Amino acid sequence: MNFSSQFDGNFSDAFSGICINSDARIPEYQEFARNNSEFAALLAAVNTALPVLSVGGNALVMMTIALVRELRVPANLLLFSLAANDVLTGIVIQTAHAGTIIRVLLEPHGQLCQSDFRLLLDIVGSLSITCGLTTLCLATVDRFIAITRPLRYITLVTKSKTYTAIVISSIACLALSLIRVFLTPYFPAVVTLWYLYLLCLCVIMVFLHLRLYRISRKHSIAIAAENKRFDPAVNTLSERKALKTVLIITLTLVFCFVPVSLFGILVKGIGTEEVRINLVPLFVTLLLMAPSINPFVYFIFSAKIRRRICKLAKRFFRK
């Protein structure tokens, strides 16, 4: 039984490209390849590179955090969790989407065999976005506490509490993803609840970022003066840089996710089948770029991670 065949056009359909209602998705991709062979070849090249960047880049970040003791702080543990989620996306979802585009490009006519991993792709697609947004929300809360409570941050946010939050949130996200996949055919409202959960996470992140922006503007002079007198507050600058990293990652996910969502809404309203067929592969590719971009964000905005990665790379090449 195809548990996902009763609902079309939801996020996982766009996210995994072919894993939901895939009997219709592959012929649509074939039509896209027939109508836009050059563009399909370009997307095939891009999608082939995405898993390499996601798995390689995020695995390097995870290895660096795991090997360097001083990097194992709560904020980086959350980045480690997010990187692990991106590795899973790269191995399963990005690889599946790249394989689909290559298949339809090589065989734009005729009937292609359907994937035997539709259910796995559906689960991983739901888990990836749910766990990714949840981890980003936890990271935003962590930065909010670090900046608004710099003197109490060490006692409020410990490594043990962070480990516990990561484990509990991961289990909850997996349970929510399984519920969305298996119960939706019987209780369609489950999808609405899933969307509401994602929306609540986004609202919380936006609210906290706006609060931090107002606090930053209002107290910038006071914070600068405080830095000169108290050592515990010297970390404020680094905390702001860490906040910038979380903000950039959040914006990357938003900019990759919003076009797909708006596209789904507009296409449903317009009802233009040809437009949908020609643009879905592009927007799915944009959506799948987020896990591949994140390692570059870590490298650019986190000086400690950047230095440690460079040291590990030099040590590796010397050997």
Residue 3, in any domain of the structure:
no
pTM of the complete model: 0.79
Residue 8, in any domain of the structure:
no
- pLDDT given for residue 113 in this prediction: 60
Ranked by mean pLDDT, the top range of 105-119, 138-152, 261-275 is: 138-152
What mean pLDDT do residues 246-262 have? 65
Tens digit of pLDDT for each residue in 59-114? 999 999 998 888 899 999 999 999 999 999 999 999 988 988 898 888 877 666 66
- pLDDT given for residue 245 in this prediction: 63
Q: What is the dihedral of CA 14, 114, 109, 32, to 10 degrees?
A: 0
CA 306 to chain centre: 21
Mean pLDDT computed over every residue of the chain: 78
Residue 247, in any domain of the structure:
yes
Q: Work out the burial of residue 46: count CB atoms within 10 Å of its CB; fewer than 13 is exposed, 13-18 middle, 19 or more buried.
A: middle
- pLDDT given for residue 79 in this prediction: 92
Which has the closest alpha carbon to 199: 129, 267, 141? 129
Residue 81, in any domain of the structure:
yes
How many separate domains does the chain show? 1
Q: Which tops the pLDDT comparison, 228 or 113? A: 113
- pLDDT given for residue 268 in this prediction: 53
What mean pLDDT do residues 221-239 have? 53
Q: Quick check: 181 and 125 in contact, CB under 8 A? A: no
Whether residue 261 is predicted with pLDDT greater than 80 in this model: the reply is: no
What mean pLDDT do residues 118-135 have? 88
Residue 4, in any domain of the structure:
no
- pLDDT given for residue 142 in this prediction: 92
Give the domain CATH number at 66.
1.20.1070.10
What mean pLDDT do residues 280-308 have? 83
- pLDDT given for residue 78 in this prediction: 93
- pLDDT given for residue 226 in this prediction: 56
- pLDDT given for residue 110 in this prediction: 64
Residue 10, in any domain of the structure:
no
Full domain range(s) for residue 219: 21-224+231-317
How does residue 310 score in pLDDT terms, banded at 50, 70 and 90? confident
Whether residue 248 is predicted with pLDDT greater than 60 in this model: the reply is: yes
Could you identify the residue written with the tokens 């690889």? 95
Q: Which two tokens mark 201?
A: 């996470």
Q: Which tops the pLDDT comparison, 228 or 82? A: 82
- pLDDT given for residue 273 in this prediction: 66
Could you identify the residue written with the tokens 């931090």? 212
Tens digit of pLDDT for each residue in 109-124? 766 666 567 788 888 9
Distance (Å, rounded) from C-alpha 275 to C-alpha 41?
A: 19
**Stretch among 9-18, 64-73, 187-196 having the lowest mean pLDDT:** 9-18
Residue 15, in any domain of the structure:
no
Ranked by mean pLDDT, the top range of 83-87, 182-186, 302-306 is: 83-87
Q: Which two tokens mark 106?
A: 């090589």
How does residue 56 score in pLDDT terms, banded at 50, 70 and 90? very high
Residue 182, in any domain of the structure:
yes
